[in-house]
Structures are given as structure tokens and as C-alpha cells.
Amino acid sequence: MVFRQNLAQVEERIVRACQASGRRRDEITLVAVSKVFPAEAILEAYEAGLRDFGENYVQEFEGKHPLVKHLGDARFHLIGHLQSNKTRKAGELFQVVQTVDTPKLARRLNEVGRPLDVMIEVKLSEEDAKSGADPREIPQLVSEIGACPQLKLLGLMTMPPWDEDAEESRPYFRRLYAIAQEHGLKALSMGMSHDFEVAIQEGATHIRVGTALFGKRQRK
Ligand SMILES: *Cc1c(COP(=O)(O)O)cnc(C)c1O
């Protein structure tokens, strides 16, 4: 029951943000971030009507996959950094990889030989630990992905430095929107539990929401 209450609250926030910025609810895909939570959490969210799920770790999702693979119309998004030695597994398990940040990763995912939707993860801050492509590398990445017959480039993804003040995320979201416009890309994956309203105002098409749906994560 807690999940359904959380979902109702998240939905209400999404609808309000859409109204406040003149957008339609159906322009926004809610990606439920189920990392750390067991497969049962995905099943419960699916029952409640959600179809898009975000996972951070290939190996962790591999463990849940047998329990959720029968959900034929569910889409699983990899939203965590992808190491090149895990590309085959990732290409087999996920429908969307949001974290492509090098041409090599794109080529390897293409070699899996199965159609895959991808986004380019863009790094917009100087934080060392963050993965993602430098904005200057995007033109080359766009053309590399365009040359990969199995890959379909949906758009861009980013994760600003964490700050409890959602307004701190706004410049990053605005920047990602501008970069996507420059390259004619439609999808923008940005915004998490604490700042997705701001992301919607700035053009998000995919918001990645964990805590507000599933509660606080215990580990990792
Ligand atoms: C964990 C995670 C989220 C969800 O964060 P919440 O604050 O729990 O909503 C979104 N995007 C990425 C890349 C994450 O790793």
C-alpha cells in the first residue's frame, strides 16, 4: 500500500509541474528507479501500472531478471555507469542504456546484435567521480551511434551534482536542453526524487525517481 500512496504523490507532483509549465502529462515518462530493492518491488510497481524501470548495476539486475522478464511490455533502463566488459550482458538485459559516454561503448553495444535504445550521458559538472561525455564530445558520439545499425539514439541524460535545493539543478537541466536542441535530439532524461519538478519545467521527457517511490535505500 505504501508504494501506491507514494506513486499517487509522485503523480500529483508530476501533474502539477506539467500544469505549471504548459506541458502534457504524456510527454513525461516516469522511470521507477528500483536499484537496491528486490524484484518484488518491480512487480509491485508494475501491478500499479508502471512500465519503465531504472537499474544502476548490470550484475544486480541480472539477479532480478528471471523474476521480471515475463513482464513483456516493461522497459528496463540502465542508468548507472557501464563498464565495457559488461556491455554484452547489458545489451541482453536492458531495453534502454541511458549511459553511453564513449564511442567504444556504443560500438560494443551494437556488436551485441540486438536492437537497443540508447541515450548519451553528458557530464556537465567538473566533479571527478561522475561519468558521462564532455559536451564537446557529443557531435562525435552522435555520429558514431548513427553508424551503429542496432542502436537508436533517443537523446541525452544527465545527473547534476547532488544538492538538496532543487533550484541548484536548474542550470544543468537548462544546459542539457540546449545541447539536445542543437543536435535535434528529443529525449531528455533528467530529474530525480527531489528535483524532478524543475526538470519538467526545463523540458525533461524522462524523470528517474527512486526514493520518492520506493522509500530510502538501505545500502550502496
Ligand atoms: C539512484 C538514481 C536515481 C534516483 O534517485 P532518487 O533520489 O532516489 O530519486 C536517478 N538517477 C540515477 C542515475 C541514480 O543513480
For the domain that residue 126 is a member of, what is the CATH number?
3.20.20.10
Q: Is 31 helix (H, G, I), strand (E, B) or coil?
A: strand
Q: Could you tell me if residue 182 is inside a domain?
A: yes
Q: Could you tell me if residue 220 is inside a domain?
A: no
Task: Kindly provide the residue ranges of all beta strands, DSSP E only, lying in the chain, ordered along the sequence.
Answer: 29-33, 52-55, 75-78, 96-100, 116-121, 151-157, 187-189, 206-209
Report residue 52 as a C-alpha cell: 519503465
Q: Could you tell me if residue 31 is inside a domain?
A: yes
- How many beta carbons lie within 10 A of that of residue 73, not counting itself? 6
For residue 77 and ligand 1, the question of a CB distance below 6 A is answered with no
Q: Summarize pLDDT for 13-58 with one digit per residue, the tens.
A: 999 999 999 999 999 999 999 999 999 999 999 999 999 999 999 9
Atom of ligand 1 nearest to the CA of 99: 13
For residue 56 and ligand 1, the question of a CB distance below 6 A is answered with yes
Q: Is 133 helix (H, G, I), strand (E, B) or coil?
A: strand
For residue 163 and ligand 1, the question of a CB distance below 6 A is answered with no
pLDDT for 219 equals 63
pLDDT (average), residues 92-114: 98
pLDDT for 2 equals 94
Q: Could you tell me if residue 60 is inside a domain?
A: yes
Report residue 4 as a C-alpha cell: 501506491
What percentage of the chain carries pLDDT values higher than 90? Answer: 95
pLDDT (average), residues 83-100: 97
Q: Is the pLDDT of residue 129 over 80?
A: no
Cα Rg of the chain (Å, integer): 16
Distance CA 112, CA 135 (A): 27
Distance 147 CA to ligand 1 centre (A): 30
CA dihedral 183, 97, 81, 126 (to 10 degrees): 20
Beta carbons of 14 and 26 less than 8 angstroms apart: no
Q: Is the sign of the CA dihedral 91, 95, 100, 104 positive or negative?
A: positive
Q: Could you tell me if residue 22 is inside a domain?
A: yes
Q: Is the pLDDT of residue 220 over 70?
A: no
Is residue 60 within a helix (H) or strand (E), and if so which, with residue range? helix 58-68
Distance 192 CA to ligand 1 centre (A): 6
Distance CA 55, CA 35 (A): 5
Distance 32 CA to ligand 1 centre (A): 9
Q: What does each C-alpha distance from 47 to 36, 111, 125 come to in angstroms?
A: 19, 34, 37
Q: Is the pLDDT of residue 113 over 60?
A: yes
Q: Could you tell me if residue 219 is inside a domain?
A: no
Q: Summarize pLDDT for 140-189 with one digit per residue, the tens.
A: 999 999 999 999 999 999 999 999 999 999 999 999 999 999 999 999 99
CA 199 to mean position of chain CA atoms:
13
What is the count of structural domains for the chain?
1
Protein residue with its CA nearest to atom 13 in ligand 1: 79
Q: Could you tell me if residue 188 is inside a domain?
A: yes
Q: Which domain holds residue 109?
A: 2-214
Residue of 10, 79, 157 with the most ligand 1 atoms within 8 Å of its CB, for mutation = 79
Q: Could you tell me if residue 143 is inside a domain?
A: yes
